[in-house]
Every structure is written in structure tokens, then in C-alpha cells.
């Protein structure tokens, strides 16, 4: 246990040191803070995209689901996330990088107007509160099991640590620490499956292996849930605020695209071995006379069946992963609230001062430097966002469910307007976008509170008992809500296309332009 504790301590100290060291690159400039000055080279861009997919939500959710329900229940997480990166590389990375956006809701502003920007920002902020919570859950359990704190204290500790260096360095801190996270996760994942294979062998319980495709075709084997997971992550993550933030931060469209493809491959290489190991986890623990109980299967395995040096390595990757997505979620959501909901802009075309705020000068900022107003408010918003994540983490302690639910919400409310606005711009009207976002999100919310389980986890957050929807309905809300959003968009677009002007987002180079061609 001392080896594990020293390993965790070393990882945390290293992450914090890197995060604070690169914070000086921000230099009081919100564009540096939010999108790393749009200058991430390929290794940094690829590492930060891959790290976003390999957070502790995905790792612990993957192993718990695979051990409990079969290979595809767990592997659906890395497969869905890799699919997202692949599709983004094919269709979205280059055009979105060229648009010179700062946050993803900027797209909705330029294409559909101010109201659509606000609605999209609210949907994404709500979703990311759940994503942040899931990573804090994983960190809380880790501190409880391996450090000896309570779960609640562990959540507060990891939240405080992540908040500290995120406030300091923004996306620079995120990107540079992600390089460490991706490397440690890769080594730990491969070493774990090699050790388990050579020392225990891979045991696949009957009907739970990767060749049992009934897990993808038979509803009684969880096919609805597994397919919904892949679809929610594969499409919903495309409209993730921290994910697109990384795409915007790449130094060129080509770098953004290559980084997505590298990230997709890395997500599969690191994520799928955890699914394989999870299949053998229960037989291994049974042979040792150990029961996982309510504890995460991977944590139990590392604690009882894996040598301390390897457990420390794998846990270091999980801690770093928890930091990685947590800091991205805090940064992305804070920036969206400050810039897109609060409507605080900076003059990105100014050559007189990097900290010149479009709405009135500079503020004396953090760390002895001047900060433009957007940077200051983004940093200040980090605290309430973190506290909301802490509240949800303590209230709903289910990593995998929180991960998929976050992207499910964005798939239902934000995906269709993005795709239509980018590729079918001639029919993409503002009423169609607003109708799609509201109809899709409302449908998903209603189904969430009406179905007793969400991705096989009991809905302990907000469930209204009823006799209409049972647990057998679980998984279908993903498809229903997304379909409602698509149908609403197409119907309203057809009705309004001759009455509302169509704006081209590609022709608007000024970042402060709203739909209609007028500046704030």
C-alpha cells in the first residue's frame, strides 16, 4: 500500500507542477487560456484529445459494466469514444478549426443568433456538470480505498486540486498534463493485460465475451443500452465543449484532423484491454476469496490481485485521467458561461494589447499579471461549476452512467443543429435550430425522470414512479430524443426556410459577429 500511496502522491505532485509551470503561457489573455492560443502542435493536440476520451469515467465505467454485463457493455465506452474521434476527423475537425471559434456555442451564435447561443450553452453546461461529477466520483472512491479518506472528502480533495491548476493555466495546463496522462495510461493498460494474461489467464464467462454479438442485437442481453452507449458517445461527444475546444486549439486544420485519428486509435488501444481484463476480474477475485461488493471492480482487482508497482502505475493513469477530463470540464463550462451566456467578448483582432477587452479594458488579474475581463470571469466561474460537480458526484455515484448521460443530453439537444448548420446550411434556419434543441432536450429530460434506470444504473437523482416505462425501456430514450430533435429541425426548417434568412457561418470571420452580420 505504501508503494501505491507514493505513486499516487508522485502523480499528483507532477500534475500540479506541470499545470502551474505552464500557467505563465496564459499571460493575461483569455484566448491563450481557453484555446491555448490556437497553437497546439500535433503531439499535444493528439494527447489532449485522447486523454479526453480515456477519463476515469470511461475506465471505471468500462470495467464495472464489462464485469457485470459482458464485454460489449464495457467496450461500448471506448468504442463509442473512438468512433467520435474518427467521425470528427473525417467530417468536423478541419471545418471547425478553420472557423476560428473560441467556444462551441460560438458556432450557434454565428449561424443561428444570440438566443440559439444561449440555449445551446445551457444544454452543454448541464451535460458537463454530469461529466465533471462522474470523474470526481472516480477520484473520490480512489481516495477512499487507497488513501483512507471518506468518499466525500476524496471528492472535495480531487476537485480542489484540479480547480487550482485549471484556474492557473487553462487549456495550456490541460494539454501539457494530458501528455503525461496519455503516456501513463498507455503503459499501464498494456502492462495490466500482459500481467493478468501471464499470471491468471483470460477467463471469459459464458455469454459475456466479445464474440457474443447478442449483446448488440438482443434486448434481453442489454442490446438497447449497449447500442445507445455507442451512439450517445459516438455522436454526442462531437458536440462536447471541451472536446471541440481542443479541436479549436490545434495549430492548423490538418493538425486537428490528424490528432483526431491518432486519438481514436489510442482510445481503442488503451480502452479495450480494460474490457478484456474486466471479464476475468470476477473469476480472479473468486479464486482469491475476495468479493468486490459495491466497490469498483478495477479498484478491487488492483488492491488484491496485482503487484503494488503495477497497481500504482494503473492508478496513476486513472488519477491523471480524472484530472484530465475534470479540468477540461471546468474550463470549458466556465468559458461557455462567461463568454456565451454572460456575453463577455474580447477583441481578438486587436494588435495593441493581448488583454484588451472589447467591453472595457483589463482587470488586475491572477498571478501578478493583467487579465482581460473574459479571462477573469472565466476563472471566477470555475468555483461554482466545481461545486456543482461535487454536489452531483456525491448525489449520483455512478461513473459510467454519468459519462454517457452527459453526451446523451448533447446528442438530443445540440448535435442536429451543428450538423445541419455546417453541411445543410441552406435549410438551417434559426427557428429550426431552436425547435430542435428544445424538443430534443425536453424529450430526453422527460424520459430520464420517467425511466427507473439509466444505462442499467438505478436513477437515484430524479425519478417519477409510473407504470408506463419500465427498466426494459432503458437505452431507447437515446434514440427517441435524438429522433425527436431531428424531426423537429426538418419540419420547422421546411416551414420556415422561405420566411427566415439563412446565414453562412463560414463567411463570418469576426469572432464577435452574430447571425445577421452585425457586431455586438
**Phi–psi pair at 519, nearest 5 degrees:** -85, 160
Residue with cell 452527459: 406
State yes or no: pLDDT of 349 exceeds 70: no
Asked whether 192 and 273 are in contact (CB, 8 A), the reply is: yes
- The 10 Å Cβ neighbour count of residue 189 is 23
Q: What DSSP string runs through 234-285?
A: HHHGGG-HHHHHHHHHBSSHHHHHHHHHHHHHHHHHHHHHHHHHHHHHHHHH
Q: What angle do CA 64, 410, 36 make, to 5 degrees?
A: 95
Asked whether 352 and 47 are in contact (CB, 8 A), the reply is: no
How many Cα neighbours within 13 Å face the side chain of 326?
Answer: 39
In angstroms, the CA 210 to CA 232 distance is 20
Answer with the residue of higher pLDDT: 430 or 140: 430
Q: What angle do CA 222, 438, 491 make, to 5 degrees?
A: 95
State yes or no: pLDDT of 371 exceeds 80: no
The grid cell for 434 is 431552436
Tens digits of residue pLDDT in 441-460? 999 989 988 999 887 778 77
80 within domain boundaries: yes
Q: Characterize 163-183 residue by residue with b for buried, 16 or more Cβ atoms within 10 angstroms of its Cβ, and e for exposed.
A: bbbbbbbbbbbbbbbbbbbbe
In angstroms, the CA 214 to CA 222 distance is 8
Residue 351's pLDDT is: 35
510 within domain boundaries: no
Asked whether 35 and 243 are in contact (CB, 8 A), the reply is: no
In angstroms, the CA 215 to CA 213 distance is 5
Closest by Cα among 161, 162, 175, 164 to 22? 175
Confidence of residue 319 (pLDDT cuts 50, 70, 90): confident
Q: Which domain range does residue 160 map to?
A: 1-347+376-396
The grid cell for 275 is 474490457
Residue 210's pLDDT is: 92
The grid cell for 167 is 484556474
Q: Characterize 322-341 residue by residue with b for buried, 16 or more Cβ atoms within 10 angstroms of its Cβ, and e for exposed.
A: bbbbbbbbbbbbbbbbbbbe
State yes or no: pLDDT of 144 exceeds 70: yes
Closest by Cα among 237, 366, 278 to 68? 278
389 within domain boundaries: yes
Q: What three-state secondary structure class fits 363?
A: strand
Asked whether 149 and 157 are in contact (CB, 8 A), the reply is: yes
448 within domain boundaries: no
Residue with cell 491468471: 200
Percent of the chain past pLDDT 90, that is, above it, reads 41
What residues contact 217, with CB distance under 8 A and at least 6 apart?
223
499 within domain boundaries: no
Answer with the residue of higher pLDDT: 96 or 294: 96
Tens digits of residue pLDDT in 262-271? 999 999 988 8
The grid cell for 189 is 493498460
**Phi–psi pair at 454, nearest 5 degrees:** -130, 110
In angstroms, the CA 194 to CA 347 distance is 53
Please state the rounded mean pLDDT for residues 202-209.
88
In angstroms, the CA 406 to CA 329 distance is 11
End-to-end CA distance of the chain: 57
Closest by Cα among 201, 197, 240, 431 to 333? 240
Please state the rounded mean pLDDT for residues 336-360.
62
Confidence of residue 352 (pLDDT cuts 50, 70, 90): very low
110 within domain boundaries: yes
Answer with the residue of higher pLDDT: 231 or 4: 231
Please name the helix (run of DSSP H) or strand (run of DSSP E) that holds residue 166, with its range, or none.
helix 151-199
Residue 429's pLDDT is: 94
In angstroms, the CA 453 to CA 308 distance is 36
- Helix orientation angle between 253-287 and 42-53, rounded to the nearest 10 degrees: 40
Looking at 352-462, list the stretches that DSSP marks H as alpha helix, in order from N- to C-terminal side: 373-395, 399-413, 415-423, 430-450
Tell me which DSSP letter residue 364 carries: E
Residue with cell 439537444: 413
CATH of the domain at 44: 1.20.1730.10
Confidence of residue 518 (pLDDT cuts 50, 70, 90): low
In angstroms, the CA 27 to CA 35 distance is 13
The grid cell for 395 is 448525489
Residue with cell 445543410: 424
Residue 359's pLDDT is: 36
Please name the helix (run of DSSP H) or strand (run of DSSP E) that holds residue 360, with its range, or none.
none
Domain count, the chain: 1
Closest by Cα among 256, 239, 236, 237 to 422? 239
Closest by Cα among 380, 365, 318 to 163? 380
In angstroms, the CA 458 to CA 450 distance is 12
- Helix orientation angle between 253-287 and 297-304, rounded to the nearest 10 degrees: 60
Please state the rounded mean pLDDT for residues 490-509.
79
215 within domain boundaries: yes
Residue 169's pLDDT is: 86
51 within domain boundaries: yes
The grid cell for 382 is 470555475
Return mean pLDDT, the chain. 85
Amino acid at each position: 500500500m505504501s508503494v501505491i500511496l507514493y505513486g499516487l502522491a508522485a502523480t499528483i505532485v507532477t500534475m500540479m507542477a506541470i499545470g502551474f509551470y505552464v500557467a505563465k503561457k496564459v499571460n493575461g489573455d483569455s484566448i491563450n487560456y481557453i484555446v491555448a492560443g490556437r497553437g497546439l502542435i500535433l503531439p499535444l493536440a493528439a494527447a489532449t484529445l485522447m486523454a479526453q476520451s480515456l477519463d476515469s469515467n470511461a475506465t471505471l465505467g468500462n470495467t464495472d459494466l464489462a464485469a457485470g454485463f459482458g464485454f460489449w457493455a464495457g467496450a461500448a465506452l471506448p468504442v463509442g469514444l473512438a468512433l467520435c474521434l474518427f467521425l470528427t476527423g473525417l467530417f468536423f475537425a478541419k471545418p471547425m478549426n478553420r472557423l476560428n471559434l473560441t467556444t462551441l456555442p460560438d458556432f450557434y451564435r454565428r449561424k443561428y443568433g444570440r438566443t440559439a447561443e444561449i440555449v445551446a450553452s445551457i444544454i452543454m453546461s448541464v451535460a458537463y456538470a454530469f461529466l465533471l461529477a462522474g470523474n470526481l466520483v472516480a477520484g473520490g472512491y480512489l481516495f477512499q480505498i487507497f488513501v483512507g479518506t471518506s468518499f466525500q472528502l476524496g471528492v472535495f480533495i480531487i476537485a480542489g486540486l484540479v480547480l487550482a491548476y485549471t484556474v492557473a493555466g487553462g487549456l495550456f495546463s490541460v494539454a501539457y498534463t494530458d501528455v503525461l496522462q496519455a503516456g501513463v495510461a498507455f503503459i499501464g493498460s498494456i502492462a495490466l493485460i500482459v500481467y493478468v494474461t501471464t499470471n491468471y489467464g483470460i477467463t471469459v464467462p459464458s455469454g459475456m465475451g466479445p464474440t457474443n454479438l447478442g449483446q448488440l442485437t438482443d434486448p434481453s442481453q442489454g442490446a438497447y443500452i449497449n447500442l445507445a452507449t455507442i451512439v450517445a458517445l459516438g455522436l454526442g461527444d462531437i458536440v462536447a465543449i471541451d472536446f471541440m475546444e481542443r479541436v479549436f486549439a490545434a495549430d492548423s486544420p490538418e493538425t486537428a484532423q490528424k490528432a483526431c485519428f491518432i486519438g481514436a486509435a489510442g482510445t481503442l488501444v488503451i480502452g479495450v484491454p480494460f474490457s478484456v481484463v474486466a471479464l476475468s476480474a470476477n473469476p480472479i477475485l473468486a479464486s482469491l476469496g475476495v468479493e468486490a461488493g459495491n466497490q469498483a471492480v478495477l479498484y478491487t482487482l488492483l488492491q488484491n490481485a496485482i503487484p503494488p508497482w503495477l497497481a500504482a502505475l494503473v492508478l496513476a493513469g486513472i488519477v491523471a485521467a480524472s484530472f484530465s477530463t475534470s479540468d477540461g470540464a471546468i474550463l470549458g463550462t466556465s468559458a461557455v458561461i462567461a463568454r456565451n451566456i454572460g456575453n463577455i467578448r474580447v477583441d481578438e483582432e486587436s494588435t495593441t494589447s493581448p488583454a484588451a477587452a472589447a467591453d472595457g479594458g483589463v482587470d488586475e488579474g491572477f498571478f501578478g499579471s493583467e487579465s482581460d475581463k473574459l479571462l477573469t470571469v472565466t476563472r471566477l466561474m470555475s468555483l461554482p461549476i466545481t461545486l456543482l460537480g461535487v454536489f452531483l458526484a456525491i448525489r449520483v455515484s455512478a461513473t459510467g452512467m454519468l459519462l454517457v448521460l452527459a453526451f446523451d443530453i448533447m446528442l438530443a439537444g445540440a448535435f442536429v443543429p451543428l450538423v445541419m448548420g455546417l453541411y445543410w446550411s441552406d435549410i438551417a434556419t434559426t427557428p429550426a435550430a431552436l425547435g430542435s434543441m428544445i424538443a430534443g432536450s425536453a424529450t430526453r429530460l422527460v424520459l430520464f425522470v420517467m425511466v427507473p434506470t439509466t444505462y442499467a444504473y438505478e436513477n437515484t437523482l430524479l425519478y417519477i414512479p409510473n407504470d408506463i416505462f419500465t427498466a426494459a425501456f432503458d437505452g431507447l430514450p437515446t434514440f427517441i430524443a435524438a429522433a425527436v430533435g431531428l424531426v423537429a429541425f426538418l419540419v420547422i426548417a421546411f416551414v420556415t426556410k422561405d420566411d427566415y434568412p439563412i446565414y453562412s457561418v463560414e463567411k463570418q470571420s469576426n469572432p464577435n459577429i452574430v447571425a445577421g452580420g452585425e457586431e455586438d
